[in-house]
Structure 1
């Protein structure tokens, strides 16, 4: 599956206005979203640092050994386990033309459940693009030891953070206005089970000190290599960009900022 996306930024003071405009554009009320993001990184293959480096008269690798070294050095990525908090009895207040939850929080954490998904996003395609395009994969996860499950595939837990915001839908386009909140870091054993912060989300610190929000307009396409589907998705996103240009400037994301690969230096121990 491929994701086609455009990104923008909205200041904290413009957040409510942005929600009102998107509610009018999509003809729907915002759907409040709370997501727990757990970051995992792949472990370098065992023995990778024992393979000699090419260079100099004594460091020339044979074709087969060089092919293996390049293969082991490629395709090492960060992945995320994302838990969407499902609120069974959310509380809401009427505020202007939109309905929003109080304090960007979960009103009744004791009656909330979390649906976990393994999320992989490749680095966006290179070159000048009208919209960001990249390969993605989302796999629903059941209950159990998710950290141990990923450890069996040589992924280790790194950190966690919270995403809060509002989603809108326009046909097959998702418009997501959100921000990232810092979470107290815990051990890998507690990463899945600890949800104590859900009772006081309003007290969590913003990652962006300005309190601004990210606006993401995206379309998921099953076969992103199909020229007709690719053209249709790009055309729809560019039409949304034009329609919302007075409210937010939507542009392709910075490719390096969206890079999910591990740094080369992190592959050595």
Structure 2
């Protein structure tokens, strides 16, 4: 699957106006979104440092060794496990029944449900593009120890953050107005289970000190290499950019800022 996207920013003061304009443009009310993002990074292949970095008196890497090193260095990315927080409707207690509650007096059935997804996003295509285009993959994760599952594939937990925002839909285009909130960091064993912050979201600190919001307009295409589908998605996003130009400046994302590969320097221990 490929993602085609444009990005923009709005200030905190313009946030409400942006939501109103998108509600009018899409003819729908915003769908409030809350996501827990867990960041993982791939471990460099074992033994990489034992491959000679150069050969011969000229300091030139031997052809076969160079080929192996290139293969092992390729495809080392940051990935995310994203948990969509779904607030459950409180259940009324009837006929004198007593609901089971936790220590905070909250019924276990009223706790929010978190649906987890493994999310991979490649680095956007190089070259001058009208919109950002990159390969993506989203895989639902139903149950089990997700951290241990990823560790088995040589991914280690790095950090976590919270995304708070509003989604709108216009045909097959998703318009997402959101901001990033900082979360208290916890050991990898508690990354999935710890959700204590959900009861005090208003106390969390914005990552952007100005309180601004990111606007993302995106279209997911099953076969992004299909010229007709690619042209259609690009044309649709450019039409949205033109329609919203008085409210927000939508442009392709900075490729380096969207780079999901591990820096070369981090591959050494």
In structure 2, the gaps of 5 or more residues are 91-107
Aligned pair count reads: 252
- State the Cα distance separating 1:55 from its structure 2 match: 6.1
Cα distance in 1 for residues equivalent to 2:247 and 2:55 = 54
Normalised TM-score (structure 2): 0.91
Cα distance in 2 for residues equivalent to 1:194 and 1:2 = 32
SS of 1:16's equivalent in the other structure is helix
Native 8 Å contact 1:182 1:204 kept in 2: yes
Q: Counterparts of 1:114-125 in structure 2 under 5 Å?
A: 114-125=114-125
Pairing 1:145–2:124 present: no
Cα distance in 2 for residues equivalent to 1:111 and 1:194 = 13
Cα distance in 2 for residues equivalent to 1:252 and 1:56 = 45
1:219 aligned partner: 219
Q: Counterparts of 1:123-138 in structure 2 under 5 Å?
A: 123-138=123-138
Cα distance in 1 for residues equivalent to 2:12 and 2:199 = 23
2:15 aligned partner: 15
Deviates more, 1:63-72 or 1:121-130: 63-72
Native 8 Å contact 1:11 1:212 kept in 2: yes
1:155 aligned partner: 155
- State the Cα distance separating 1:63 from its structure 2 match: 2.3
Native 8 Å contact 2:174 2:217 kept in 1: yes
Native 8 Å contact 1:167 1:176 kept in 2: yes
Native 8 Å contact 1:7 1:253 kept in 2: yes
Native 8 Å contact 2:78 2:261 kept in 1: yes
Native 8 Å contact 2:55 2:62 kept in 1: no
Cα distance in 2 for residues equivalent to 1:144 and 1:255 = 35
- State the Cα distance separating 1:203 from its structure 2 match: 0.6
SS of 2:209's equivalent in the other structure is coil
Normalised TM-score (structure 1): 0.91
1:190 aligned partner: 190
In structure 1, the gaps of 5 or more residues are 91-107
- State the Cα distance separating 1:89 from its structure 2 match: 2.4
Per-residue Cα deviation, 1:30-57 (whole angstroms, up to 9, x for no partner): 0000000000000000010111112661
Cα distance in 2 for residues equivalent to 1:219 and 1:263 = 28
Cα distance in 2 for residues equivalent to 1:219 and 1:84 = 19
1:37 aligned partner: 37
Cα distance in 2 for residues equivalent to 1:41 and 1:110 = 34
- State the Cα distance separating 1:109 from its structure 2 match: 9.6
1:172 aligned partner: 172
Per-residue Cα deviation, 1:57-99 (whole angstroms, up to 9, x for no partner): 1644332221111000111000000000011229xxxxxxxxx
